[in-house]
């Protein structure tokens, strides 16, 4: 079809029809996301989260994937929004914003429905005006500002490893040790490594550090279907290749780093085989 040959009114009407179809497709895409999440299909394909699956398997940008997942979660807990989306009266950006603010405020189902009604009634046109109204509805503080900086790939990878270490901080003592190590990172202090017994179930500090370093602070799960490595840096756990309850030793050769979802997936697979 040569759009240049269309009359103005036909071009406008066709555009409106396409937008309606786009909204219907969005609703269906989000429904598919929800079912994929329910079945945890991304785990079997080697991805530690729906987000990684959407980015690496489906080809969305990180921002696009995040918006769709947030929109999916809002539809999941507020199904009243679905017909509004299908009619084209609620776009992806607003759905994503609703989920973020509802999550931040720990909003109830009733508050979410009221927020939907507020969006239908509001005359606010800019994104900032919409967010201000919703923040007022959820009784949230003013929006926090985000500082963005650009770094090279090497610096980015170092930052990701640092974030992974920060996620291990559970108490003041661990935080103090981390800060001390950062302060003296240029000084190598001689120390004696205390090796744990291979019959101990939980990986100790030294072994865990070695395993994380070897795995580059990433999940080591490899999908038998796609041969893809997960590489998630979130919620990392040290797991036995040969299970501990089957005689597996807590030594580096029998240990691997897995994200929590893939650790749980392997446990469920073992349970289904009657190994637990």
Return per-residue pLDDT of the chain as tens, 276 residues.
788 988 999 999 999 888 888 888 999 999 999 999 999 999 999 999 999 999 999 999 999 999 999 999 999 999 999 998 888 788 899 999 999 999 999 999 999 999 999 988 876 567 888 888 899 999 988 766 666 778 788 887 777 777 777 766 667 777 777 777 766 664 444 445 556 677 788 888 889 999 999 999 999 999 999 999 998 988 999 999 999 988 899 999 999 999 999 999 999 998 888 776
46 belongs to a structural domain: yes
What pLDDT score does 61 carry?
A: 94
- The count of structural domains within the chain is 2
Angle 120-125-129 from CA coordinates, rounded to 5°: 90
User: What is the pTM for the complete model shown?
Assistant: 0.69
Asked which of 72, 104, 137 is the last residue of a domain, the reply is: 137
**Whether residue 122 sits in one domain with residue 22:** yes
Asked which of 137, 166, 189 is the last residue of a domain, the reply is: 137
What pLDDT score does 254 carry?
A: 95
143 belongs to a structural domain: no
203 belongs to a structural domain: yes
**Whether residue 133 sits in one domain with residue 163:** no
**Whether residue 162 sits in one domain with residue 70:** no
146 belongs to a structural domain: no
Asked which of 90, 107, 137 is the last residue of a domain, the reply is: 137
185: containing domain: 153-272
**Whether residue 176 sits in one domain with residue 248:** yes
What pLDDT score does 161 carry?
A: 76
**Whether residue 128 sits in one domain with residue 10:** yes
For every residue of the chain, DSSP letters joined together read --GGGS-HHHHHHHHHHHHHHHHHHHHHHHHHHHHHHHHTHHHHTT-SSHHHIIIIIS---HHHHHHHHHHHHHHHH-TTHHHHHHTTSS-HHHHHHHHHHHHHHT--HHHHHHHHHHHHH----SHHHHHHHHHHHTT-PPPPP-------HHHHHHHHHHHHHHTT--SHHHHHHHHHHHHTTT--------PPPTT-SS--HHHHHHHHHHTTTS---B-TTT--B----SSEEEEESS-GGGT--SSGGGEEEEEHHHHHHHHHHHHHTT--
């Amino acid at each position: 079809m040569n759009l240049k040959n269309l009359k103005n009114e036909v071009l406008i009407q066709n555009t409106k029809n396409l937008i309606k179809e786009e909204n219907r497709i969005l609703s269906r895409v989000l429904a598919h996301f929800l079912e994929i999440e329910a079945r945890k299909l991304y785990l079997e394909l080697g991805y530690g989260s729906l987000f990684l699956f959407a980015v690496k398997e489906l080809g969305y940008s990180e921002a696009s994937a995040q918006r769709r997942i947030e929109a999916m979660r809002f539809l999941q807990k507020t199904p009243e929004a679905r017909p509004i989306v299908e009619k084209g009266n609620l776009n992806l950006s607003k759905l994503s914003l609703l989920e973020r603010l509802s999550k931040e405020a720990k909003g109830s189902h009733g508050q979410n429905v009221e927020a939907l009604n507020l969006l239908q009634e509001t005359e606010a046109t800019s994104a900032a005006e919409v967010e201000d109204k919703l923040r007022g509805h959820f009784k949230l503080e003013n929006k926090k500002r985000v500082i963005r900086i650009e770094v090279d790939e090497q610096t980015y990878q170092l930052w990701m490893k640092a974030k992974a270490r920060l996620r291990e901080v559970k108490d003041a003592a661990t935080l103090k040790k981390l800060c001390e190590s950062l302060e003296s990172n240029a000084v190598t202090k001689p120390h004696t490594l205390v090796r744990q017994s291979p019959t101990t179930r939980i990986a100790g500090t030294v072994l865990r550090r070695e395993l994380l370093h070897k795995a580059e602070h990433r999940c080591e799960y490899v999908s038998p279907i796609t041969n893809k490595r997960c590489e998630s840096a979130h919620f990392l756990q040290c797991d036995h290749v040969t299970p501990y309850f089957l005689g597996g030793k807590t030594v580096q050769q029998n240990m691997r780093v897995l994200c929590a979802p893939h650790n749980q997936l392997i446990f469920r697979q073992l349970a289904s085989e009657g190994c637990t």
